[in-house]
Structure 1
Amino acid sequence: MTTAAAVKLRTFTKLDAARGDLIDVYADVRAALLHLPNYSITTFGERLDRHGSEPGFMAVLAYTDGHPIGYAYGNAIERGDRYWQRTTPAPADEYTSSPAVALKEIGVREPWRKTGTARRIHDALLAARDEPYVTLMVNPAAGDGKVQALYESWGYEDIGRSQPSPASPVLTVMIRVTR
């Protein structure tokens, strides 16, 4: 049986050191969606490169026996960031008056799902942040709604909708305090 206890977490603040492992895990986690333009490895790589060059980039990767099995990454966003500009309705000033961390991606390979690994990765990323809020976007159809329900169980609340690109589905924007 796979256990979260065998997992080692590593934090990266430079994309170059983590890029290959991020793409490797992403390709496995999103394998069923890679044929869709918004989920292709090329599109993910372009997004990853853009996010990796933005202020406050940080990634946490989980490894077992030296192999990457999960990840989360994000960066700082401020009032006026395109992230907030695409959110409808406009988020409350409470959320945008100071920088927030935007959790851009999180994923765990199948054998390590339901072991607490995703939560450990998520919490490790937030533990290293100073921003008062963390926000993320989720496809409400992912896992037939189970992914959004998981985020709700982690304390996130729905604050709006966003469609980051024409190829993207309409996503639910969620937010919570970082600690």
Structure 2
Amino acid sequence: MTVELRHHTTLTPEARQDLLDVYTDVRAPLLHLPNYGVAAFLERLDRHAAEPGFELVLGHDGRTAVGYAYGNTVDADDPYWKRMAEPLPEGFTGTPVVALKEIGVRAPWRGTGTARRIHDSLLAARTETRVTLMVNPLAGDGKVRRLYESWGYRPFNVQRPTPDSPRLSVMIRPSH
């Protein structure tokens, strides 16, 4: 499998559709839940795409979109920090970070290194020194969180981004 990585700093209709195709495949078992439904995802996606530092990496195997990751810059005043369950240490938000908002890879490409390649490609040219993400600690019976830990992420807080979402572990690591 040869996966070509394509970077987008604006959400074109074609990129949006490719991303939606992968999202609905990857999240199919969860689409009935309010926070994972297509309408909720598209609302978040469109909001995130309009925020500073938005970048999307789509992986394609031939004409098929097989995976994605996207994120944007989060600075000290961003609501992202205000939803944390525990107070943050003084100065913690003093420098912008890249927030990895979504990552997903279709089943046939899992375990091939595709997710890590997409992730690393997203971060490669970023100027932020740290990257943060949120993960449901129960996803895959903890397997997803353990994967992120193997990539160098460490939990530092928890939050519930919306009333419909589960309580998520917030993780962070150096971006390079």
TM over 0.5: yes
Aligned residue for 2:52, secondary structure, equals coil
CA drift at 1:93 = 4.2
The residue that corresponds to 2:19 in the other structure is 22
Which stretches in structure 2 are left out of the alignment for 5+ residues? none
Is residue 91–residue 159 contact of structure 1 (8 Å, CA) maintained in 2? no
State how far apart, in whole Å, the 2-side matches of 1:174 and 1:117 are.
Answer: 21
Equivalent of 2:156, from 159, 167, 170? 159
The residue that corresponds to 1:170 in the other structure is 167
1:104-136 per-residue CA deviation (whole Å, 9 max, x = no partner) reads 000000000000000000000000200010000
Q: Which amino acid aligns with 1:56?
A: G
State how far apart, in whole Å, the 1-side matches of 2:92 and 2:106 are.
Answer: 32
1:10 aligns with 2:42: no
Q: Which amino acid aligns with 1:121?
A: I
Aligned residue for 1:131, secondary structure, equals coil
What does 1:61-76 correspond to in 2, within 5 Å? 61-76=58-73
1:145 aligns with 2:142: yes
State how far apart, in whole Å, the 1-side matches of 2:90 and 2:115 are.
Answer: 30
Equivalent of 1:119, from 112, 116, 119? 116
Aligned residue for 2:43, secondary structure, equals helix
1:108 aligns with 2:140: no
Which stretches in structure 1 are left out of the alignment for 5+ residues? none
State how far apart, in whole Å, the 2-side matches of 1:37 and 1:138 are.
Answer: 17
Deviates more, 1:81-90 or 1:62-71: 81-90
Equivalent of 1:99, from 96, 101, 119? 96
Q: Which amino acid aligns with 1:118?
A: A
CA drift at 1:90 = 2.7
State how far apart, in whole Å, the 1-side matches of 2:29 and 2:87 are.
Answer: 33
Aligned residues: 175
